[in-house]
Amino acid sequence: MDKWRIRKGDTVQVISGKDKGVKGEILRVLRDERRIVVKGVNVCTRHKKPSMNNPGGLIKQEKSIHASNVMLVDSSDGKPVRVSMKVIDGKKVRVSKRTGSVID
């Protein structure tokens, strides 16, 4: 498996699918399935049965989307960018291909 250029907590923009153009924060990364969960993207409604601790009812929750359907958003200008890896001072960092700035 190749290296991942996106991590939990990053802001990404959806580039394809029904939520195209939506920006959100990565909540979870599922590396084995190559999928990610983004806040406010691919939201579905689940019917939850009541229990002692949970009142139940309709619950909205985010489902995973494929990692290839998102691009990392550059914090300096808010536009999606491609990411490359470079070694700077003996430490591997993510670098924006468009601006050349360090993302981490």
pLDDT digits (tens, 9 = 90+) for 16-67: 999 999 999 999 999 999 999 999 999 999 999 999 998 999 999 999 999 9
CATH 1.10.101.10 for domain 11-74: no
pTM for the full predicted model: 0.85
Q: How far apart are CA 67 and CA 14, in angstroms?
A: 9
How does pLDDT run across 63-81, given as a tens digit for each residue? 999 999 999 999 888 999 9
Cβ count near 29 (within 10 Å): 18
- The residue ranges of every structural domain in the chain are 11-74
What the block records as the tokens of 73 is: 């958003």
| Residue 71 burial (CB count, 10 A) | 17
Backbone φ and ψ of 50, nearest 5°: -65, 150
